[in-house]
Structure 1
């Protein structure tokens, strides 16, 4: 374990780094890196485009070896299981964060794990056995790892400066939306089967038989505009078939936006005791529509921000740093 006076040098490896001009939901990785840096960690991010191509991983592995040869690090931190391949065989202590389908598998439109999804599971489980410490973002993901793997539960954190309550009229003016309509927000990628956009669409169609509302899709919007979408909307509708710890739900709560969701990932934990949110008993469009109608007729924000205070990224960064210190090799002589 390195001393508390030592600046920890981390090589963070990821194939999911958010880049300008490309729609992605992985801003939580950049946010974690920024908060770690603000806390005094020297974070060097290596990002590559995996795209399910072995050649990309081989080139990435070679570039990681070159970077390790040029700079002394205390440890490597892989974001998602597949990124951990680039740190093997280990030349440094390895921490891996698993965030969802890397352990749970990728699903086809019928909810079955694809062949590529099963391969990803095997790769991730193999990487986990080589790691010095692993992090999962939700308690329900721990059983996907062997009991011998040292595992910590640390959800993705929130930037409360970005995701904050904004007056609804102001948010709608910012987005050019009318003030006299009801809007239901869907933030996931409509083309990704596990997000089940069609289910959200069907639920809103059922809702419109008794109460008019428009489904607003936030996918592809600039990340800094997402808080405006959340404050412009009257509720978030969340219909994913599979998740780890969905950030959009936590971000909506930070904006005091009511959430209507199916039971998935750690959403039941997040919505627990948040009056005005709805956790659906099943995945039928009629059930989701009824929950949406109850939320819209109540017509008020929720006290969600108080419920997610413990997810402040600044606090969670300290938990990650504690893991870094526990696994890092002493390299003060390289300072």
Structure 2
């Protein structure tokens, strides 16, 4: 156990992976306070890592609160998402850990993030691909998955829970269709092509506005997960699907190829023909994957241990 006090800064306090991070570190003895940027986050999902709805003024009026709290006996500031980094490094007293979530490095905010990040004491990214994009010294620590919540269960029982029919193949697209970066039209087209090659009904279903604790039922109720994102860091949906033994067909983004490398069946490709062929094979076989066997290293416990090690190192400097 530790007695560290951490001041968290974030653009999205409701993000499930952020909440899991805080809870796991609190379990390890870290006392934390979270400050969220003022203004409303109008993103389509609580897990969205974009923040285009806030203004420069919202960030400007965030700084006085950060400065005041930094004088209140904390050991370090943990800036979660690149847009919080300027406020974190502007306070003069505490060391800063910066966690990058994806679009803050690889999207339109990337140039700002790269300019500010070197002033932080440690930078954390979610995948080796993000580390290459960042191009400077950093730690790779993927967001963790609650392996007690996301675990295999009987498919028909899960379908009864979520209200899905048992006589069709169901492909899950686990994001709001309006999130442009997730590219729902491509997923729809791929599943449409698959329908023409199977002799039983195939449907593409989404799970939006579903409480995170219920998502395990949707992963277990589906026959496959399709992810057609244009970019990702280390998508938790893929890791949660692995933990539930749900086969995944995905574009080659973030650390997906690394995560799914030993998982069978699964397909990772940027070619639509290969994605269609992979999905057809999965749906014809009707088998679950062996993802659970390879999920141990992506649990929240492992994430918490590695983050705590970073905290202790930074606080000791």
Deviations 1:99-140 (A, max 9, x none): 2111111xxxxxxxxxxx1xx112211221110001000011
Instruction: Measure the CA separation in 2 of the matches of 1:300 and 1:251.
Output: 17
Aligned to 1:79: 80
Q: Please say if 1:170 is aligned against 2:157.
A: yes
SS in 2 for 1:166: coil
Q: How does 1:18-167 map to 2 (within 5 A)?
A: 18=14, 26-48=15-37, 49=39, 51-69=53-71, 71-90=72-91, 91-105=93-107, 117=108, 120-147=109-136, 150-167=137-154
In structure 1, what is the Cα distance between the partners aligned to 2:171 and 2:5? 43
Shift in Å at residue 234 of structure 1? 0.2
Q: 8 Å contact 1:128–1:145 — kept in the other structure?
A: no
> Do 2:89 and 2:120's aligned partners in 1 also have CA atoms closer than 8 Å?
no
2:278 is the counterpart of 1:291: yes
Aligned to 1:179: 166
Q: Structure 1, residues 177-199: CA drift from partner, whole Å, max 9, x if none?
A: 11112110001231122211000
- Contact 1:77 1:97 (8 Å CA) reproduced: yes
Counterpart in the other structure of 2:46: none
Distance in 1 (alpha carbons) for counterparts of 2:146 and 2:61: 34
Q: 1:329 offset after TM fit, Å? A: 5.2
Quote the residue 1:108 is aligned against: none
Q: Which residue of 1 aligns with 2:176?
A: 189
Aligned twin of 2:195? 208
TM-score by length of 1: 0.86
What is the RMSD of the two structures over their aligned residues, measured on CA atoms? Answer: 1.5
Say if 1:30 and 1:6 are closer, same or farther in 2 by CA, change over 3 A. Answer: closer
Task: Structure 2: state its 5+ residue gaps.
Answer: 40-50
Specify the alignment match of 1:21 in structure 2: none
Return the alpha-carbon distance in structure 2 between the equivalents of residues 100 and 68 of structure 1: 26
Q: How many residues end up aligned between the 2 structures?
A: 301
Aligned position for 1:262: 251
Greater RCO (CA < 8 Å, at least 6 residues apart): 1
- Note if contact 1:74-1:329 (Cα within 8 Å) is conserved in structure 2: no
Unaligned runs of 5+ in 1: 19-25, 106-116, 331-335
Q: Give the distance between the partners of 1:143 and 1:325, measured in 2 at CA.
A: 25
